Amino acid sequence: MDRELAQFMELLDEELRKISCPECVKCGWCCRQTVCYYGEWDYEKHQCKFLTEDNLCAKHDEIVAYEQQLGLNPGLFGSGCCVNFMNPYRLRIIKSRQGGCCKDNEANG
């Protein structure tokens, strides 16, 4: 690999490490649309089997430990929300933070 290409790859790597998606507000929407690489679909609940009642991932610690071992950075968690467009659960949480009504917030269960 020549020097310019190596520099470009380094720069690209740096850019990819930066968080470029908006904050994850733990609404659980993504795990109700499909599963990630570590998930399993629950056909009755129509969500990942590992999504908890409070919209957390029951495999979080296991996944983080595994990805650290692989040297993955960024990993599955901590890089923001990639499904923020027209995501009603996320919008409700954000609205409730801004003082809006959150009584009907399905994401909070």
- Which residues of the chain form contacts with ligand SF4 (CB under 6 A)? 24-31, 35-36, 38-39, 48, 50-51, 57, 59, 81, 83-84, 87, 90
Toward ligand SF4, which CB reaches closer, 9 or 19?
19
Q: How far apart are CA 67 and CA 87, in angstroms?
A: 27
CB distance 47 to 33 below 8 Å: no
**Token digits of residue 41:** 């679909």
Cβ closest to ligand SF4, residue 8 vs residue 77: 77
Amino acid letter, residue 74: P
Distance of closest approach, residue 8 Cβ to ligand SF4, in angstroms: 30
**CB-nearer residue toward ligand SF4: 2 or 40:** 40
Question: What is the enclosing helix (H) or strand (E) of 42?
Answer: strand 41-42
